[in-house]
């Protein structure tokens, strides 16, 4: 016990050491990184929020992705009663976001042409 020196005699006085970074110095950024809730960045949003597109297009894509556009099925979910009919085709089907963006004949044709252009085979695929 007599040969053991307290660390402060060997290494100087104690100093505060910030544990949130490897340098031990307090930085606002490291405090922010410590406090904020880190969640995995969704790849889907990276594809939707494209800097090369106008904001209104990005915003519309985001609204479609979140199913926040005023299609009849969404209005129905909000307890707004309407008689639903799709105006994009002759089938007189109920207007749903899936029908408008994926399954309506004109849209299915657009998907096929776009996929063909991108050399993607979507035959037999179920788009959602
Ligand atoms: Zn339709």
Q: How far is the CA of 96 from the centre of ligand 1 (A)?
A: 9
The pLDDT, as a whole number, for residue 7 is: 67
The rounded Å distance from CA 102 to ligand 1 centre is 10
Question: What pLDDT does 72 receive?
Answer: 92
Q: What integer pLDDT is reported at residue 125 of this predicted model?
A: 82
CB atoms within 10 A of CB 99: 20
Other CB atoms within 10 A of residue 47 CB: 10
CA of 59 to the centre of ligand 1 (A): 24
Sign of torsion, CA 95 55 53 45?
A: negative
Query: Would you give the distance in Å from CA 99 to the centre of its chain?
Result: 22
pLDDT value at residue 10: 67
Q: Give the residue extent of every domain in the chain.
A: 79-128
Residues of the chain with pLDDT under 50: none
Give me the residues near ligand 1 (ion), CB cutoff below 5 Å.
86, 88-89, 104
């Amino acid at each position: 016990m007599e040969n053991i020196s307290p660390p402060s005699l060997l290494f100087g006085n104690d100093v505060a050491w910030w544990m949130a970074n490897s340098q031990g110095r307090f930085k606002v950024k490291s405090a922010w990184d410590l406090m904020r809730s880190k969640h995995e960045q969704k790849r889907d949003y990276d594809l939707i929020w494209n800097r090369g597109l106008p904001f209104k297009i990005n915003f519309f894509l985001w609204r479609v992705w979140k199913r926040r556009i005023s299609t009849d099925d969404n209005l129905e979910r909000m307890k707004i009663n309407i008689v639903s009919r799709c105006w994009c085709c002759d089938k007189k089907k109920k207007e749903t976001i899936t029908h408008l963006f994926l399954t309506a004949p004109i849209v299915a044709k657009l998907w096929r042409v776009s996929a063909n252009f991108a050399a993607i085979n979507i035959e037999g695929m179920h788009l959602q």
